[in-house]
A and B are shown apart, each in its own frame.
Chain A
Amino acid sequence: MGLKQISKNPRWIIYLLIFIALLFIPRMLSIHDLMLFEYGITFAIVGLGFNLLLGYTGLLSFGHGAYFAAGAYSVAMIAKYLPQAYSLEILIPASLFFSLILSIIFGFVCVRHTKIFFSILALSLSMLLFALLFKLYHITGGSDGLRVPLPTLFGMSFKGIRRPEFLSGTYYYFLLGVFSISFLVMRGIVSSPFGKALQAIRDNEVRAELIGIRVRRYRLYAFMISGMFVGLGGALWTFVNGHVTADLSHWVFSGEIVYMTLLGGFGIFEGPIIGAMIFTYLKLYAMGNTQYWMFVIGATLIVLVLILPNGVAGAVSSLWTKVKKKTN
């Protein structure tokens, strides 16, 4: 799609307007709300990656917490063992690299299967990583996890600055920049012939093979890209959270990634982003208001599946289509 076409497409105009509005968010929100919003952005990157596998390739993974943990622990381990390299411009590529390596290894095993077997394999492998992170106390901090200090950025040090100040200044714009690039890259991937091939595999893998597509290899590529995006989200999340624990690789956390994608709607590109944002606020407010917050989350999921099977974005999209049809 050329620049001219992009400028004429209302979707891209909306994206641009949202991006401009996001630039002013730190001025509009309190530090507490901004931190929540930043959690949401990191999960939005996770959702983008996860949806390449679920929405575009048709593979449901219950183990994507592993790649999130890979990204998060890359940051925390470098902080502990290689403090001289503890700079954002090194940490981001490093987290991408380690989550890629892990997703190649796990993906190689998982993509040989589909449906429930794929899901269970992904879950089992992530639990394997969880066990390692949990048991190797001297390296990973075990159940205590690892603390994540503030990084440097292109030689700029944030020593003496408190985390909330860091998060409401430079880091927010860094996060927004990375999110925007991730968004554009993923948009490019799903619109490319490779993305179309993934959709063909999702629709009918036998037919996809019969037009020459290497089904298993493309699934692995999708798995790798998905793992990298989730790892990137994990790395960015650590600076907001300040602490990583083995729970990130637990299947419960992987379930949250599935949940937020379903909440937003995996049939629409923007769905997981919306889902990630809603989930972040929903979980916090449910936790803040009742000790039965898991009941609230579970009940929402049931309502969602029964009433909004295409998620929030899917419901808005079909409503918009109906309104457009009526006005025409």
Chain B
Amino acid sequence: MLLNIENLDVFIGSTQILRNISLGVNEGEIVCLLGRNGAGKSSIIKSIIGLYPSRSGKITFREKDITPLSPRKKVLSGIGYSPEDTRIFTELTVEENINLSTWVRGKGEIFSYEKIFAIFPKIKDFLDRKGLNLSGGEKKMVSIARALALNPSLLLLDEAFEGLAPLVVNHFMEALRQIRKLGVTILLGESNVRIVSQITERTYIIERGEIIFEGHPREILENERLLKLVGK
């Protein structure tokens, strides 16, 4: 198993935001964390990357315990992260945003521009544009490309489809399939079950900081109670 989480409890101050989370992601999979806004999807992803420290539980990546590692060390160990709000460096150009990751990586293997252009051909057209002047969809592309530039084996995507036009959503779904074909495993946080059902084989439903379901997204679409729970 590429990523394994066992009995993870996370608190912010005295409030428990994740309860006894256990999940696993196999190499080559696209796995989805599905749930309504505020259910805890982003919190799980942030806990994996190290932005929310855990109070108890264990996170292993490639059989190694990465629970106490800093976000930087987790990223350099092969976990890419594209956050919900993209957080592109606005004063840098798209090319500089992507190059920064490869420069930081130094001697390590990098994800080539050819691969990035194969996934997001449009990026070629605005390489020299500043992050400030990008649309929402373009920012998401750059955010994913920047995470890929560090050559991760696991990519954490938080709300990658949020706010995108239906046509762009289709492009993004295709892009994720291509990323998987290139050998990158994906853990996706998403609130739209229709999208999830088209690209993933395994889905976890999160509700109030707990995992309440694990299975194929088709099972969710066929289950009225679960559909009601995820809000679609």
Contacts and interface: CB of A to CB of B under 8 A. Distances in A.
Interface of A: 193, 196-197, 199-200, 202-204, 206-215
A52 B76 CA distance: 27
B92 A196 contact: yes
Interface in B40-70: 49, 51, 70
B72 A213 contact: yes
A204 B100 contact: no
Given A202-B91, A206-B87, A208-B89, 16 more contacts: A193-B100, A197-B100, A199-B89, A203-B92, A204-B89, A207-B89, A210-B72, A211-B100, A211-B104, A211-B150, A212-B76, A212-B101, A212-B105, A212-B150, A213-B100, A213-B104
B96 interface: yes
Given A193-B103, A197-B104, A204-B87, A210 B75 contact: yes
The range of chain B's interface size is 20 to 34
Contacts of B87: 204, 206-207
A contact face: mostly helix, strand, loop, or mixed? helix
* B interface secondary structure, majority: helix
Interface string B143-169: 000110010000000000000000000
A199 B72 contact: no
Interface of B: 49, 51, 70-72, 75-76, 81, 83, 87, 89-92, 96, 99-101, 103-105, 146-147, 150
A211 B75 contact: yes
A147 B146 CA distance: 55
Nearest to A204: B87
Contacts of A211: 75, 100-101, 104, 146-147, 150
B11 to A, nearest CB: 19
Contacts of A215: 72
Contact of A209 (B71, B90, B100, B147): B71
Contacts of B99: 193, 196
Contacts of B90: 203
Given A210-B72, A210-B81, A211-B150, A199 B51 contact: no
24 contacts: A193-B99, A193-B100, A196-B96, A196-B99, A196-B100, A197-B103, A199-B89, A200-B100, A202-B91, A203-B90, A203-B92, A204-B89, A206-B71, A208-B89, A210-B83, A211-B75, A211-B101, A211-B104, A211-B146, A212-B75, A212-B76, A212-B101, A213-B100, A215-B72
**Complex A-B, nearest 6 residue pairs according to Cβ-Cβ distance, in ascending order:** A212-B104, A193-B103, A207-B87, A211-B101, A203-B89, A200-B89
Nearest to A214: B72
Contacts of B100: 193, 196-197, 200, 211, 213
